Amino acid sequence: MADAKIYTASTTAPVNIAVIKYWGKRDTKLNLPTNSSLSVTLSQDDLRTHTTAACSSQFSADSLILNGEPQDVSGARQQACFRELRSLRAALEAADPSLPKLSTLPLKIVSENNFPTAAGLASSAAGFAALVRAIADLYQLPQSPTELSRIARQGSGSACRSLFGGYVSWEQGEAANGSDSLALEVAPASHWPQMRAAILVVSAAKKGVSSTSGMQATVATSALFPHRANVVVPERMVQMKQAIRDRDFETFADLTMRDSNQFHAVCLDTSPPIFYMNDVSRAAIRVVEEINRLAGKRVAAYTFDAGPNAVVYYLDENEDLVLGSLKGGLKGVPGWRASVTAEGVQGLDQGLLEPLKEGITRVILTSVGSGPVSVQESLVGADGAVVRK
Ligand code: DP6
């Protein structure tokens, strides 16, 4: 009798926020970057994608359901991930004929984010990391997270960094086939567990330029961009790794803010220019710069991706100073901790907080966290149907 069994494996995967930004591809098909990048993985207690990968002869074709909505799987990115993972499984099956031929069965991938997609947080990194990890677990692949990062990268560049927890680099590599363009763990979360992140979600009136098309435009038109990719980022990668090894927040913060600002500078230098930050984002920059000036040292660092949301990194020991200072602008916003009663830095001009009150719709208070975790809870039932939470 034919094997009609439903095979499943489930995982959760984290979001990561870069402190040295990936912006620019040297190969759009393989998603090979023009420069290395480095990120902090955020805790899955607050932000995570839960994915079940299932395969069975009962399924008619490959499918993907995200937050209850069927998605198109015919795109090159999805197809590359499915193809590469299947070929690793097929190699195992060829070496051991007793293994079930999972590589030949249609896949059903079911995925749920625990954060609102409307928040505009980059979910593709957690999404592709969870997809690759879940299928690798389903296929019982022996490959390491670094080896799997080569596959996740082809789904979305930043996804390769979400296969690890803690502090993660994506080394750009040199090979034309991308074999050395991989994610590496710089340090686990336990090395520097005091790192915190406050995500200030800013409402965006309209959807901006996607990262994929924005970075292509920058590579094609910005005169400043080659200097960033070839000169500035390689130096910063070395300095940032050292700052993380030394748990040197002042250097970490300086590099993080400079790199975010330079990424947005090359966006402005793109023709036509790309604006990801808005007035609320710029107000957040002013507040953080002022908190640091009044504190007499860098206690907070802002960074912005391809949208207006601010991510503010700080250390646990400075929580009162940083959150106490931001309190006036964030009180009453969903996600804010009412228990923050500290006064923050002395002498902060409260007027600087006014634009935050107007423009921030939600706060997510989180911290550095771990990489993908294998879980029991399955989003595909024993009958092969989707389980809604
Ligand atoms: C600004 O990884 O979303 O967040 O590879 O085209 O899917 P694709 O791009 P994506 O770009 C992320 C850009 C960034 C910086 C970063 O995360 O390093």
Q: 4 C-alpha to center of ligand 1: Å?
A: 39
Residue nearest to atom 14 of ligand 1 (CA): 305
Residue 216: CB within 6 Å of ligand 1? Answer: no
Contact 170, 146 (CB under 8 A): no
Residue 301 has pLDDT above 90, yes or no: yes
What is the dotted CATH code of the domain comprising 195-367? 3.30.70.890
Residue 22: CB within 6 Å of ligand 1? Answer: yes
Residue 37: CB within 6 Å of ligand 1? Answer: yes
Task: Supply the Cα-derived Rg of the chain in whole angstroms.
Answer: 21
Residue 169: CB within 6 Å of ligand 1? Answer: no
Residue 153: CB within 6 Å of ligand 1? Answer: no
Q: Is 175 exposed, middle or buried (0-12, 13-18, 19+ CB in 10 A)?
A: exposed
Q: Residue 158 CA: which ligand 1 atom is closest?
A: 2
Return the SS3 of 113.
strand
Q: 18 C-alpha to center of ligand 1: Å?
A: 9
| Between residues 203 and 225, the one the model is more confident about | 225
Residue 88 has pLDDT above 60, yes or no: yes
Contact 368, 166 (CB under 8 A): yes
Q: 259 C-alpha to center of ligand 1: Å?
A: 14
Residue nearest to atom 4 of ligand 1 (CA): 305
Residue 14: CB within 6 Å of ligand 1? Answer: no
Domain span(s) for CATH 3.30.70.890 in the chain: 195-367
Residue 129: CB within 6 Å of ligand 1? Answer: no
Residue 272 has pLDDT above 70, yes or no: yes
Q: 20 C-alpha to center of ligand 1: Å?
A: 11
Q: 210 C-alpha to center of ligand 1: Å?
A: 9
- Per-residue confidence at 374, pLDDT binned at 50, 70, 90? very high
Residue 157: CB within 6 Å of ligand 1? Answer: yes
Q: Residue 153 CA: which ligand 1 atom is closest?
A: 5
Residue nearest to atom 11 of ligand 1 (CA): 211
Question: Which pLDDT score, from 0 to 100, does residue 115 have?
Answer: 80
Q: 31 C-alpha to center of ligand 1: Å?
A: 10
- Per-residue confidence at 200, pLDDT binned at 50, 70, 90? very high
The phi and psi torsions of 357 (rounded to 5 degrees) equal -55, -40
Residue 21 has pLDDT above 90, yes or no: yes
Q: How far apart are CA 153 and CA 77, in angstroms?
A: 9
Question: Which pLDDT score, from 0 to 100, does residue 123 have?
Answer: 73
Mutate-to-test residue for ligand 1 from 42, 131, 158, highest number of ligand atoms within 8 A of CB:
158
Residue 118 has pLDDT above 80, yes or no: no
Mutate-to-test residue for ligand 1 from 15, 22, 228, highest number of ligand atoms within 8 A of CB:
22
pTM beyond cutoff 0.90: yes
Q: 195 C-alpha to center of ligand 1: Å?
A: 22
Q: Which two tokens stand for residue 289?
A: 């710069």
Question: Which pLDDT score, from 0 to 100, does residue 122 have?
Answer: 63
Q: What's the chain's average pLDDT?
A: 95
Question: Which pLDDT score, from 0 to 100, does residue 388 have?
Answer: 79
Instruction: Order the strands of the 360-367 sheet from edge to edge.
Output: 300-303, 310-315, 195-202, 360-367
- Taking the C-alpha atoms of 198, 182, 35 and 37 in order, what is their torsion angle to the nearest 10 degrees? 20
Which CATH code of 3.40.50.880, 1.10.287.130, 3.90.245.10, 3.30.230.10 fits the domain covering 7-188+371-375? 3.30.230.10
b/e per residue 81-99 (b: at least 16 CB within 10 A): bbebbbebbeeebeeeeee
Question: Which pLDDT score, from 0 to 100, does residue 338 have?
Answer: 86
Domain span(s) for CATH 3.30.230.10 in the chain: 7-188+371-375
Residue 122: CB within 6 Å of ligand 1? Answer: yes
Q: 384 C-alpha to center of ligand 1: Å?
A: 33
- Per-residue confidence at 204, pLDDT binned at 50, 70, 90? low
